[in-house]
């Protein structure tokens, strides 16, 4: 019995040691930037059941967007950059996240969480359907979970880009707004500017029908 107890204690200590080793770099995730006045964009003509607006803004180093998608004066989705050191390299994560307590969500690719606690944001192609259904590959973010769009990795004079949006143009980020307790699904068109390694936000749209599907690029 004594040997059995000692064996169990040995296994527990080994597991704890493994957990410590995994974060042995002591990675510190900086706080989110302080919100400024949210932006809504310019309303454009659209079909009767869709809100469509142009934005034409960028997210990059110290460049943030606080999006008020439904024009009620408060931020719905934040887009920001966070600089984190790990693996001996400097990683600039460009991420999206629903404002705390709103239950707004982003479509992400299933997989292991990144060091900033996020998952990679999923890039929809034009004409793909954005809907509540999760697939074997794609799911919605959990509450307060970030969706990383891209990471600019620097070491010395070399710069690389990681993520599903790297070198991509005119892909669509799927999102869900919670309005009066109901989800409204939408898209935001993003492109990677390879000259500045920034993410360009051109326009966005969402359905006026609670729980209604929307096609990426539909307006």
Q: What is the DSSP string of 3-45?
A: HHHHHHHHHHHHHHHHHHHHTTT---PPPPPPP---B--EE--
**135: confidence class by pLDDT, cuts 50, 70, 90:** confident
- CA dist 92 and 151 (Å) reads 5
pLDDT digits (tens, 9 = 90+) for 107-129: 999 999 999 889 999 999 999 99
pLDDT digits (tens, 9 = 90+) for 30-63: 788 888 899 999 999 999 999 999 999 999 999 9
The answer to whether 81 touches 151, Cβ cutoff 8 Å, is no
- CA dist 120 and 113 (Å) reads 8
**178: confidence class by pLDDT, cuts 50, 70, 90:** very high
Judge whether residue 27 has pLDDT over 50: yes
- CA dist 7 and 3 (Å) reads 6
Specify the pTM.
0.85
Judge whether residue 19 has pLDDT over 70: no
Q: What is the DSSP string of 160-202?
A: EEESTTTT--SEEEEEEEEETTEEEEEEEEEEEETTTTEEEEE
pLDDT digits (tens, 9 = 90+) for 81-115: 999 998 889 999 999 998 766 789 999 999 999 99
């Amino acid at each position: 019995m004594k040997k059995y107890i000692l064996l169990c204690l040995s296994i527990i200590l080994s597991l704890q040691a493994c957990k410590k080793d995994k974060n042995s770099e002591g990675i510190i995730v900086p706080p989110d930037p302080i919100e400024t006045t949210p932006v809504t964009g310019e309303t454009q003509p659209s079909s009767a059941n869709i809100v469509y607006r142009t934005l034409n803004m960028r997210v990059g180093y110290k460049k943030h967007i606080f999006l008020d998608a439904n024009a009620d004066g408060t931020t719905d989705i934040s887009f920001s950059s966070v600089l984190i050191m790990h693996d001996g390299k400097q990683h600039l994560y460009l991420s999206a996240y629903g404002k705390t307590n709103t239950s707004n969500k982003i479509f992400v690719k299933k997989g292991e969480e990144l060091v900033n606690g996020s998952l990679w944001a999923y890039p929809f192609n034009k004409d793909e359907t954005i809907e509540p259904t999760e697939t074997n590959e794609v799911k919605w973010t959990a509450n307060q979970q970030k969706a990383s769009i891209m990471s600019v990795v620097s070491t010395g004079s070399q710069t690389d880009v990681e993520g599903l949006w790297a070198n991509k143009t005119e892909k669509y980020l799927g999102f869900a707004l919670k309005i009066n307790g109901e989800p409204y699904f939408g898209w935001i068109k993003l492109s990677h500017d390879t000259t500045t390694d920034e993410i360009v936000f051109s326009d966005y749209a969402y359905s006026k029908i609670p729980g209604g599907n929307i096609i990426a690029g539909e307006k």
